[in-house]
């Protein structure tokens, strides 16, 4: 089939792909009482992988351990995430400005 590069508004309805109709039929319940296998995780898997979560430092939401951003508050929780530590930039700027003023007063 040749590719048509026209915008979709200009294309005839027959050229646009249509979604297949939903299938009808019996819906099976995947429960052990019906004799079907349980597709859920085993108890061994839950023990082995059950504790692979971390909590957001800002809102406390439980997240997967490989998450880098909290889905609830958008805080960075990956490597280097969390509240900033150390001296704030404004404190360094004020300290340098005071040192310059004091040294200027001592010299003159």
Whole-number pLDDT of residue 24? 74
Whole-number pLDDT of residue 101? 92
> Rounded distance, CA 90 to CA 69, Å?
27
In the chain, where the domains are located? 41-108
Contacts of 55 (CB under 8 A, 6+ apart): 61, 62, 63
pLDDT tens digits, the chain, 108 residues: what are they?
455 565 555 655 555 566 666 677 776 655 556 665 666 677 787 777 777 788 888 898 888 888 888 989 988 887 777 777 778 888 899 999 999 999 888 887
Q: Is the pTM of this model over 0.85?
A: no
């Amino acid at each position: 089939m040749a590719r048509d590069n026209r915008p979709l508004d200009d294309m005839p309805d027959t050229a646009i792909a249509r979604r297949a109709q939903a299938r009808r039929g019996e819906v099976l319940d995947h429960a052990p009482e019906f004799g079907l296998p349980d597709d859920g995780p085993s108890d061994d898997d839950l023990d082995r992988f059950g504790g692979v979560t971390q909590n957001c430092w800002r809102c406390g939401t439980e997240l997967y351990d490989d998450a880098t951003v909290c889905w609830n508050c958008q805080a960075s929780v990956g490597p280097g995430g969390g509240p900033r530590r150390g001296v704030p930039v404004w404190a360094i700027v004020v300290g340098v400005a005071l040192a310059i003023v004091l040294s200027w007063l001592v010299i003159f």
